[in-house]
Amino acid sequence: MNRYSKFVLAAAFTGCCSLLAQSGASIVNEPKQAYDHIKNNILRAAEEMPEGDYSFQPTPAIRTFGKLVAHIADAQAHFCSAVDNTHMQVHASSRTAKADLIAALKESSDECDKAYSSLTEANANQMVGTGRMQRTRLGMLYLNVAHDNEEYGYMAVYLRLKNLVPPSSQVHAMPVKE
């Protein structure tokens, strides 16, 4: 790499760091922002699907919509409670009614809100979890965001199959001209 390229790279890096500092972005608030975004989409998707369609199963090989919501709630509780070593369970997989599943989702989201709020630059690299699930606090919270995004992708397909617009697309939906 020549001297000019190094200078340009250093200037770009410094500029990015400066922008991050000005925007308040940091290693501890970026995962919280990502989580808040996907948490809201998941909850809105769960609320949007009619109760009668919680038993909707596009193919026999995949979960019903209700079981998908339960899986998200149970997984969030697992990942986020590991961060604070409480190992909370919401037992969403034993629930079937829409209201009960949304309550479990909110309960697991409350646990995640606590976990993301407890993340500091001082504890971000602290190891949490056990066995194969042992990660840093930061890593565990990013794992939760990644899992939530993956599962929301499935939720969006279920909604589309029921002719509903997923929450993440509603902002971009254009009115139909008649």
Q: Where are the domains of the chain?
A: 26-168
Percent of the chain's residues with pLDDT above 90: 76
**pLDDT classification of 79: cutoffs 50, 70, 90:** very high
Instruction: Name residue, tokens 């009619």.
Output: 50
Which class does domain 26-168 fall in? Answer: mainly alpha
Task: Please tell me the predicted confidence (pLDDT) of residue 18.
Answer: 45
- Bigger pLDDT: 62 or 19? 62
User: Do residues 53 and 65 touch, judged by C-beta distance below 8 A?
Assistant: yes
Residue 3 has a pLDDT of 53
Which pLDDT does position 131 carry in this prediction?
Answer: 84
Determine the average pLDDT of the residues in 145-159: 98
* CA nearest to 168, candidates 43, 11, 13: 43
* pLDDT score of 144: 97
- In tens, the pLDDT along 41-70 reads 999 999 999 999 999 999 999 999 999 999
Asked if residue 27 has pLDDT above 70, the reply is yes
Q: Which of 98, 97, 117, 119 is nearest to 109 (CA)?
A: 117
Question: What SS3 state is found at 128?
Answer: strand
Token duo for residue 53: 């369609």
Nearest to 66 by CA among 44, 99, 90, 39: 99
Q: How far is CA 54 from CA 128, 160, 175, in A?
A: 34, 14, 27
On average, the pLDDT of the chain sits at 87
The pLDDT tens digits of the residues spanning 91-146 come to: 999 999 999 999 999 999 999 999 999 999 999 999 998 788 899 999 999 999 99
| Percent above pLDDT 70 for the chain | 81
